[in-house]
Amino acid sequence: MIRIGLRRALNRAALYAAALGFMIFAGFPFYWMVVTALKQNRDLYVGASDLRHVPWIFNDPPTLEHVRLLLTQTDFPRWVLNTLVVVVAAVLITVVVAVPAGYSLARLSGRWGERLGMGIFFTYLIPPTLLFIPFSRLVSLLHLQNSLGSLILIYPTMTIPFCTWLVMGFLRSVPWEIEEQAMIDGYSRLAVILGVVPRLIVPGILTVVVFTFTLVLQEFVYALTFISSVQKMTVSLGVPIALVRGDVYHWGALMAAALFTSIPLAIIYNLFIDRFIQGFTVGAVKG
Q: What is the pLDDT of residues 180-218, one digit of tens each?
A: 777 777 777 777 777 777 777 777 888 888 888 888 988
Q: Mean pLDDT lowest for which of 109-118, 124-133, 137-146, 173-182?
A: 109-118
Q: Alpha-carbon torsion 270, 271, 274, 279, what sign? A: negative
Kindly state whether residue 13 falls inside one of the protein's structural domains.
Answer: no
What was the pLDDT predicted at 163?
86
| Confidence (pLDDT) at 287 | 40
pTM, two decimals, is 0.81
Return the pLDDT at 182.
78
86, 155 contact by CB (below 8 A): yes
Same domain (yes/no): 150, 281: yes
pLDDT of residue 274: 65
Residue 141 and residue 279 share a domain: yes
Last residue of a domain, which of 41, 63, 85? 63
Clarify whether residues 97 and 179 are in a common domain: yes
Domain co-membership, 135 together with 160: yes
Domain co-membership, 30 together with 167: no
137 Cα distance to chain centroid:
28
Residues 191 and 230 occupy one common structural domain: yes
- Provide the domain limits for residue 37: 25-63
Q: Higher confidence at residue 146 or residue 178?
A: 146
* Percentage of residues in the chain having pLDDT higher than 70: 90
Residue 20 lies in a domain: no
Q: Is residue 72 part of a domain?
A: yes
69 and 53 belong to one structural domain: no
Alpha helices in the chain (DSSP H): 2-38, 41-44, 65-72, 76-103, 110-124, 132-141, 148-172, 176-184, 189-191, 197-200, 202-218, 221-226, 235-243, 251-286
Same domain, 155 and 43: no
- How confident is the model over 235-261, as pLDDT tens digits? 999 999 888 887 788 889 999 999 998
End-to-end CA distance of the chain: 46
| Mean pLDDT, rounded, of the chain | 82
130 and 85 in a common domain? yes
pLDDT digits (tens, 9 = 90+) for 16-32: 899 899 889 988 989 99
- Domain stops at, among 63, 93, 109: 63
- State the total domains in the chain: 2
- Are 78 and 48 contained in the same domain? no
1 pLDDT higher than 80: no
Same domain, 40 and 139: no
For residues 119-138, average pLDDT: 80
pLDDT at 277: 57
User: So what's the pLDDT on residue 176?
Assistant: 76
- 90 pLDDT higher than 90: yes
Provide the pLDDT for residue 284: 41
